[in-house]
Structure 1
Amino acid sequence: MTDDRSAAGGAGPTHPLQIGDYRLFMAVRFAGSIATLSVVVVLGWQVYDVARSAYEMSRAAAAFQLGILGAVQFVPIFLLTPFAGVASDRFDRRKVAALSVLVDSGVAAVLAYATHMELLSLPLLFVMAAMHGTARVFFNPAMSALAPNIVPAKLIPRAIATNSIAGQFARVLGPAAGGLLYTVFPSFPYFVALVLLALSAGILLMIKPPRRPHYDRRINPWKQALGGLSFVWRDRFLFGAISLDLFAVLLGGVTALLPVFARDILQVGPEGLGWMRAMPAAGAGIVALWLSWKPMEHNVGVKMLWAVGIYGLATALFGFSHSFALSLLLLLVLGAADMISVFVRNSLVQLNTPDEMRGRVSSISGVAISASNELGELQSGIAASILGATGAVVFGGAGAILITLIWAAIYPEIRNARTFAPAYREKSKGAAEEGAKT
């Protein structure tokens, strides 16, 4: 898997942070997440605000523009995911991720200039959102596949939780900083993001080149991509976990409509929007801290099902709230529940996937996450244009609970799962071998 490059002594590292390359990896995750999330929260606010002010759209029509914002980010993810997975398995994963970060820095530069010069329009914002989606579709599988090249297999669950701490607290700081900086000077969040992303690209290249997995270049890339799809499809536990998260968040996602609640329902402005975007990450960060100290090891399937159900309940209650404090609390609970689901799913992907397929499988998991997030934004925008923002959020939360009950019934592998890997590893290896032959 990997050798210990920095731990002292012959016993090997006992925690991922003892590994120098992992600390660099964490720094990229932290700085990159602050930058991109700061950009995303401001981008969402600008789309809704420009639609309402410059285009004089109604609340329902402007909410629908937020749905379009999610759709234009998802289109490149849907189209390019097979190539992103192959690129992560075929080329240096550090360089793939660094190039993606540089593309994102270009997006930040354009938005900084357009905001400063007051040249914003919906078409420009949508094009930049699509470029951001293009960058992330290559960045995420490359980073997910790189981590197990740095950390020994026995430390992967702890590494996932530790990495989530940095990522989730960046998700607290990023949106909050974006909202606060925007109130000071509208283009400032984009300039800060540009600097952080450029630093992230440089740090990535400081990581020692990982050992390349075996990759047969004679096989057509499309067949290689289908091998990853076949692997996930044949493993019911893995497929059930990924699809549960996909459909639950697709229905229960509230993020896209937060600008509506911030501007027109709770009336807390862009600063309040930043705190609302930060609260799910704060809840997730608290859970990640706990899991880094005491990783989940038993009854993982049942815990994931309960977590997704609580996620749906918190979402529905948020829709009814007209109190800013209560809304923040519900978003905190929502994020904590979602972190448990993320931890289980990511552990399954890392521990049950051979290294030579990890980029492709990570890209499939990534497109499921993106589908739930970006298409969830489209679903939320359409639902809000019909039911109103409150109705859309309540409907989505109830749908997430229903999906959880259905998946518990049709995927007994999930509710019967006691641990992450032992009962499934041999089956996963067989599925990988069959998938690689397709």
Structure 2
Amino acid sequence: METQNSTLFATSSDGKHSAWATFTSPLRQSKAFTLLWLGHWIAMLGSSVTTVILPLVIYSLTGSTTIMGLAMTVYMLPNVLILPFAGMIVDRIDRIRLLLFANIARFGLMFVAAVLMFTDGMKMPFLFVGLALYGLMDGIFNPAYSALRAQVFTPDIRNAANALSQISIQAVRLLGPPLGGFIGRFQ
């Protein structure tokens, strides 16, 4: 219990409790947390940018809000269909490798889509296939992240790790859409 209390109430050089030291303690205490937190932060930023750019791209290609809705269905359907099997996959495959694979695949899909978008090579069939694959990777990533998070957020850092993670996610949700809107101007 002493270890947990000392983690929760970090002290500054003048002997006073520092809220900042407590808040950031998981970054100093756990390399696994730091890597997971940073990777998730980057992935969330990419996802939040994508949620703004994607409708702009679809609308600029088709001029149809109906196709925008269909595109979201194409994204969500594989995501929903893989979820019943995702737990089994996550339990049988190394979670870190699974996270890396899913994130690299999502990044690759978005990178190719960005190149095609900026070179006027984007066609709807590729976009729909890319969205389906992206949804599939999301359906694998989210359960793998949750399972790995349960391992990494050990009792000695759990409260601060949860707080840091949640504040970071909300900050990314605030930063991503304006960044997406800025990038979307150049399409």
TM-score (ref. length: structure 2): 0.79
The residue matched to 1:81 in structure 2 has which SS?
helix
The residue matched to 2:130 in structure 1 has which SS?
helix
- The number of equivalent residue pairs is 167
List runs of 5+ in structure 1 lacking aligned partners: 1-9, 53-61, 187-438
Equivalent residue letter for 1:180: F
Asked whether the 8 Å contact 1:29–1:166 carries over to 2, the reply is: no
For 2:145 and 2:111, the matched residues in 1 are separated by: 23
Q: Does 1:134 align with 2:136?
A: yes
Q: Give a deviation string over 1:243-290, Cα, whole Å, max 9, x none.
A: xxxxxxxxxxxxxxxxxxxxxxxxxxxxxxxxxxxxxxxxxxxxxxxx
What is the 5 A alignment of 1:379-418? Answer: none
Equivalent residue letter for 1:24: L
In structure 2, relative to structure 1, the CA distance for the partners of 1:126 and 1:155 (3 Å cut) is same
For 2:129 and 2:51, the matched residues in 1 are separated by: 13
Q: Give a deviation string over 1:292-339, Cα, whole Å, max 9, x none.
A: xxxxxxxxxxxxxxxxxxxxxxxxxxxxxxxxxxxxxxxxxxxxxxxx
The offset of 1:156, in angstroms, is 3.6
- Structure 2 residue aligned with 1:16: 26
The residue matched to 1:83 in structure 2 has which SS?
helix
In structure 2, relative to structure 1, the CA distance for the partners of 1:147 and 1:169 (3 Å cut) is same
For 1:71 and 1:160, the matched residues in 2 are separated by: 31
List runs of 5+ in structure 2 lacking aligned partners: 9-24
Q: Does 1:182 align with 2:184?
A: yes
Equivalent residue letter for 1:170: V
For 1:68 and 1:160, the matched residues in 2 are separated by: 35
What is the 5 A alignment of 1:62-101? Answer: 62-101=64-103
Asked whether the 8 Å contact 1:35–1:174 carries over to 2, the reply is: yes
The offset of 1:133, in angstroms, is 0.5
Q: Does 1:38 align with 2:40?
A: no
Asked whether the 8 Å contact 1:148–1:156 carries over to 2, the reply is: no
For 2:91 and 2:26, the matched residues in 1 are separated by: 23
For 1:42 and 1:117, the matched residues in 2 are separated by: 16
Identity, in percent, stands at 28
RMSD: 2.0
Asked whether the 8 Å contact 2:49–2:177 carries over to 1, the reply is: yes
The offset of 1:154, in angstroms, is 6.6
Asked whether the 8 Å contact 1:107–1:128 carries over to 2, the reply is: yes
The residue matched to 1:102 in structure 2 has which SS?
helix
The offset of 1:146, in angstroms, is 0.7
Q: Does 1:110 align with 2:112?
A: yes
Equivalent residue letter for 1:115: M
For 1:158 and 1:70, the matched residues in 2 are separated by: 35
- Structure 2 residue aligned with 1:29: 40
